[in-house]
Amino acid sequence: MQDSILTNIVTPQYARFDTPLYLKSGAVLDSYELVYETYGELNAARSNAVLICHALSGNHHVAGSYADNPKNLGWWDNMIGPDKPIDTHKFFVVGVNNLGGCHGSTGPASINAKTGKHYGADFPVVTVEDWVETQVRLADYLGIDHFAAVMGGSLGGMQAMRWTLDFPERVRHALVIAAAAKLTAQNIAFNDVARQAIITDQDFHGGDYYSHGVVPRRGLRLARMLGHITYLSDDSMAAKFGRELRNGTYAFGFDVEFEIESYLRYQGDKFADQFDANSYLLMTKALDYFDPAHEHNGDLSAAFRAVTANFLVLSFTSDWRFSPERSRTIIKALLDNELNVSYAEITSSHGHDSFLMEDRHYHQLVRAYMDNIVT
């Protein structure tokens, strides 16, 4: 463990759970595995643990790199590590790949022990509540009674919120970044176009493409291209690509001409090579279903009534997918319940992706908040 602090080298670890998991959908998973990584050391009082929840395409590899692949930096390495805003000298950080994912935790691409085949379309739909339940089990497994903080951006922020609702005694602080209390119709619409791109790909085979030896690559690629547009802002795209042409002149055809086309296709290809289409479907559904106010007749303040955690809520000015207005809805519910909460609206041109970017003010805010957490 000490070595990992010094060199930032991490190793994924696996935890197996054989207690049946009753999912919100009514389905039951008899057993499953979660892949996770840890950074820093759990203190003697076991009071310094921080859980990082990932978003749509994230995973357990949040920080550091691997001994056999030093270039593979964790997706939030600019935020988490020794002397970083989430300082692993102080905190014991846990990153976990969510159930249904495709980076090592049990998901649609895993082999179903009952059938000896890939789960494929048989893998049940999972919700944010289900994820939190599995994360609680992982916490038990790691001997963590309560987290000093649960933190996440976007869909990860929704998990952090859900923790405070479902396990108020097990989370002291929630850092909810670029998130929302529920998706808008527009958000769901984007997700459905992405899903339709995958499902209508002729290589999808009703989700059982594994046995056909193919992947619905075109669909997944389109889904990612669409998603990527919504994660950037008009301004950042204009600044980065404008109307730049790859070859300086119009070709009057449908091949890649504009730089933005090239960029999106590259992002789509890269993603299609490393992500499982079924997992993508599941993640987007978890987003769509998230709506804690739903069980309280749409009253988010009522949903937060049992919450005791302290909150840091952050939004980014150019994020139109999860706009600052969406964060202010969360703030209102927290204020109505007289919870300790701070909110900052960070000026950034990077759209929804801002939460992953290195930004001095953003990181100072997180650092300041984390510094005041008693462990």
Partner 1 sequence: MTATTAPTSPIASRPDFAAIAAWVQSGSKVLDLGCGDGSLLCYLRDTRNVRGYGVEIDDANVLACLNNGVNVIQGDLESGLSSFESGSFDYVILSQTLQAMKHTEGIVREMLRVSREGIVSFPNFGYWKNRLQVVSGHMPVSETLPYQWFDTPNIHLCTLGDFEAFCHQHGVHILERRVMNGDHQITLAPNLLGMLAFYRFERQK
Q: Which of 285, 344, 348, 352: binder of partner 1 (CB under 8 A)? A: 344
Two tokens, residue 66:
């691997």
Residues 201 and 272: beta-carbon distance below 8 Å:
no
Residues 188 and 227: beta-carbon distance below 8 Å:
no
Compare residues 265 and 361 and give the one whose CB is closer to partner 1: 361
By CB under 8 A, the count of residues binding partner 1 is 22
Rule CB under 8 A: say whether 239 interacts with partner 1. no
Residue partners of 203: CB distance under 8 A and separation at least 6: 209, 212, 214, 215, 216, 217, 218, 219
DSSP for residue 24: T
Residues 131, 125: Cα–Cα separation, whole Å = 11
Residues 363, 369: Cα–Cα separation, whole Å = 10
DSSP for residue 303: H
Q: Point out which span in 80-88, 109-117, 264-272, 337-345 binds partner 1 (CB under 8 A).
A: 337-345
For the CB of residue 341, give the shortest distance to partner 1 in the complex, in Å.
6
Restricting to residues 92-111, which ones interact with partner 1 according to CB under 8 A? none
Active-site residue list: 154, 319, 352
Rule CB under 8 A: say whether 342 interacts with partner 1. yes
Q: Point out which span in 90-98, 172-180, 264-272, 339-347 binds partner 1 (CB under 8 A).
A: 339-347
Residues 163, 183: Cα–Cα separation, whole Å = 18
For the CB of residue 74, give the shortest distance to partner 1 in the complex, in Å.
25
Q: Which of 336, 357, 359, 375: binder of partner 1 (CB under 8 A)? A: 336
Rule CB under 8 A: say whether 332 interacts with partner 1. yes
Q: Point out which span in 60-68, 98-106, 203-211, 332-340 binds partner 1 (CB under 8 A).
A: 332-340
For the CB of residue 333, give the shortest distance to partner 1 in the complex, in Å.
10
Helices 277-289 and 217-231, packing angle to 10 deg = 40
Tell me which H or E stretch contains 152. strand 147-153
Q: Point out which span in 79-87, 114-122, 336-344, 348-356 binds partner 1 (CB under 8 A).
A: 336-344
Please give the C-alpha separations between residue 313 and each of 178, 258, 264, in angstroms, as whole numbers: 8, 37, 30
Rule CB under 8 A: say whether 306 interacts with partner 1. no
Rule CB under 8 A: say whether 368 interacts with partner 1. yes
Beta bridge partner(s), residue 81 = 87
Beta bridge partner(s), residue 148 = none
Q: Which of 328, 357, 359, 375: binder of partner 1 (CB under 8 A)? A: 328
> Interface with partner 1 by CB under 8 A: which residues?
312, 328, 331-332, 335-336, 338, 340-347, 361, 364-365, 368-369, 371-372
